[in-house]
Amino acid sequence: MALLTDEFSSQELLQAQLQLWHQSLGFFKSVALAIAIDLHIPDAVHRLGGAATLAEILAEAGISPCRLRDLRRVMRVLTVSGGIFTVQRQPTSSEDVVYKLTAASQLLVRDNRSTTMSLLSNVHLMLTACRQCPVSRGMHAWFHQQHDEQEEKTSPFAMAYSGNTVWERADRDAVVFPFDDAMASDTAFLMPIVLKECGEVFRGLDSLVDVAGGLGGAAAAIAAALPELRCTVLDLPQVVAKAPSGTNVQYVAGDMFESIPQANAVLLKWILHDWSDDDCVKILKNCKQAIPSRDAGGKIIIIDMVMGSGPPDIKRMETQVLFDLLIMIINGVERDEQEWKNIFFDAGFKDYKIIPVLGVRSIIELYP
């Protein structure tokens, strides 16, 4: 049977993936709207004169300041994807944007005495199925938490599933929640495209460590395409224990927060978006210690999302902001270039290159 890469071009396959993700993530449009209604965001903006900065909205709605970045992500969905609010840039203000009511959000205002027209109850009813979803309930409870910024934060996912992390649930309930299978299928889909379109990022290397590489799908694909490249997978002991035998990939049990085996390059495929900025800095510092200087060929290869990169495309933008809301349920973050840059420089790296050729994702080459 012919491979899909033989039948379709890389761009056709990436466009097909975009279509499937865009359709699948449509649920999070409803989640974002339900959160905004539950937190009385339209009311807060209305009381502030119909336009307000995010900090003003947080204070008016009584939301913890710790949620500023996360509420910005919800509002981004409601502007980019939903058109429920609009944004206006304020070049003279310390805040980057002001959020303004639209006709749609005006119809959600509870205390709007200027009109008797309201669709709040109607929309609330239509969101019932969304509100009853465990993840949606977890996100609502999470936004209502009031805690110090330094306090260890649980995730919306854990609040929805009795304190279990996404990885714990994947271990305990693999049939209903096939997380590992989903990650493996993504690797099987993406790596042939990566090697076809961007294989040069791996050429010239003698050794590579795939950090948190699971059962080695990505490393095996790279090793098959470049037999001279020695590939190693680093993952937790319980993951490595399940690794297949008789492959051309070496497996090392360990923890990326502790240390990473020495190699010319480190691969981080779809990993960093799972973690906070501080955690990403820790991981990248360990990566930096594992590789030689740039002059000696050392680099980090990151496959992840760079929000807003690539040519403008509304479906692509919507999919990125919706995926950002999805990853928020495990306290992950999808980042724009400036957010990535801050992490890279905090970790001690000096230069990077973004290659936006993987649909909603990009390859980033990071240099010490």
DSSP secondary structure code for residue 63 in this structure = -
Is 218:269 a contact under the CB 8 Å cutoff? yes
Q: What are the DSSP calls for 307-368, one per residue?
A: ET-SS--HHHHHHHHHHHHHHHTTT---EEHHHHHHHHHHTT--EEEEEEEETTEEEEEEE-
Q: Which two tokens stand for residue 354?
A: 């973004």
How far, in Å, CA of 66 to CA of 213, rounded?
Answer: 32
Burial class (CB in 10 A: 0-12, 13-18, 19+), 145: middle
Greatest CA separation for the chain? 73
Beta partners for residue 300, in sequence order: 266, 366
Angle between the N-to-C axes of helices 217-225 and 179-198, in degrees from 0 to 180, rounded to the nearest 10: 20
Instruction: Answer yes or no: 40 catalytic.
Output: no
Look up residue 280 and give its two tokens.
Answer: 């990403």
Is-contact 48 346, C-beta < 8 A?
no
119 DSSP assignment: -
Q: Which amino acid appears at position 157 of this protein?
A: F
Residue of 22, 40, 46, 273 marked catalytic: 273
* Active-site amino acid positions: 273
